[in-house]
């Protein structure tokens, strides 16, 4: 995303100033951007490469660790989804107090930060990798099947399952309302698209945008065919990369 914005800036289609909310840690902004360049093969530190548009300004707002801890599941042993969603709002509000954007782009799946962005006067966009709650999770609790998100002790109790079912469906409703504050919605796979379409019924239709994968180095490797022959065009490398 930052690389695309840098491209727009360099081509003088938009004059942009990007602010990234990130966890406070040992790495400097320069090290973080260098890591992005190494991992994805892009250069965002100089505006995306050579050209006449000049460098796009990129700043970081580092969020304190004690606030970031509110995002971790272990902080909320019960009512985890509500706890983490509340934590995401606290973290986002901390960032908005430092830098209020014209466009707020959430790439962490923290849907409940979108209403805060709107409250601050920003247009909002979301890139969802995995929904906070899915229709699969709702079906599992409703059918009382034990799973990673449905303890067998609760699944075996009609009353406990009913309470959890009400909790999940209420949360799913609130999750859908939060998603309605997005002006643009991107998802990373067709699987995520199907779940977001079912849950975010008031938001714009999601667009599938597969995660960036630098395949140039992989394409140069001499892959052998299954039969031991030479390199070829097959091997399953192409279309399935980001489908998830």
* Distance, CA of 5 to CA of 23 (rounded, Å): 22
Question: Per-residue pLDDT tens for 73-93?
Answer: 999 988 999 999 999 999 999
What is the average pLDDT across 38-50? Answer: 60
pLDDT tier, 243 (very low <50, low <70, confident <90, very high otherwise): very low
Instruction: Please give the pLDDT value at position 49.
Output: 41
Predicted confidence (pLDDT) at residue 230 exceeds the cutoff of 50: no
Instruction: Please give the pLDDT value at position 144.
Output: 84
Instruction: Please give the pLDDT value at position 195.
Output: 95
Predicted confidence (pLDDT) at residue 70 exceeds the cutoff of 60: yes
Which pair of structure tokens corresponds to residue 128? 């969802």
Instruction: Please give the pLDDT value at position 231.
Output: 41
pLDDT tier, 46 (very low <50, low <70, confident <90, very high otherwise): very low
Rama region for 62: left / alpha / beta (φ>0; ψ in -120 to 50; rest): beta
What is the average pLDDT across 158-162? Answer: 88
Q: Which residue has the higher pLDDT, 226 or 124?
A: 124
Instruction: Please give the pLDDT value at position 239.
Output: 38
Rama region for 157: left / alpha / beta (φ>0; ψ in -120 to 50; rest): beta
Predicted confidence (pLDDT) at residue 126 exceeds the cutoff of 90: yes
Q: How far is CA 84 from CA 115, 160, 187, 238, in A?
A: 16, 22, 21, 36
Predicted confidence (pLDDT) at residue 10 exceeds the cutoff of 70: no
Instruction: Please give the pLDDT value at position 9.
Output: 63
Mean of the per-residue pLDDT values of the chain:
83
Q: Which residue has the higher pLDDT, 243 or 208?
A: 208
> Which of 62-71, 74-83, 164-173, 228-237 is least confident?
228-237
* Distance, CA of 113 to CA of 11 (rounded, Å): 31
Predicted confidence (pLDDT) at residue 45 exceeds the cutoff of 70: no
* Distance, CA of 211 to CA of 141 (rounded, Å): 31
What is the average pLDDT across 220-228? Answer: 64
């Amino acid at each position: 995303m930052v690389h695309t914005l840098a491209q727009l800036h360099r081509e003088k289609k938009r004059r942009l100033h990007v602010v990234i909310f990130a966890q406070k840690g040992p790495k400097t902004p320069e090290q973080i951007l260098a890591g992005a360049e190494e991992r994805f093969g892009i250069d965002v530190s100089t505006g995306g490469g050579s050209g006449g548009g000049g460098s796009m300004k990129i700043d970081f707002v580092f969020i304190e660790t004690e606030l970031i801890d509110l995002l971790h599941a272990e902080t909320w042993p019960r009512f985890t989804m509500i706890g983490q969603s509340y934590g995401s709002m606290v973290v986002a509000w901390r960032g908005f107090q430092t830098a209020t954007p014209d466009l707020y782009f959430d790439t962490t799946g923290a849907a409940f930060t979108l209403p805060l962005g709107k409250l601050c006067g920003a247009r909002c966009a979301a890139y969802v990798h995995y929904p906070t709650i899915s229709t699969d999770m709702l079906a599992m609790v409703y059918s009382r099947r034990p799973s990673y998100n449905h303890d067998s002790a609760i699944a075996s109790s009609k009353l406990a399952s009913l309470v959890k079912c009400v909790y999940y469906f209420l949360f799913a409703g609130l999750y859908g309302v939060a998603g309605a504050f997005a002006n643009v919605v991107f998802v990373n796979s067709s699987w995520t698209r199907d779940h977001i379409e079912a849950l975010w019924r008031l938001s714009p239709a999601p667009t599938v945008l597969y995660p960036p994968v630098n395949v140039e180095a992989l394409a140069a490797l001499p892959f052998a065919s299954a039969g031991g022959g030479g390199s070829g065009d097959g091997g399953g490398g192409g279309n399935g990369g980001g489908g998830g």
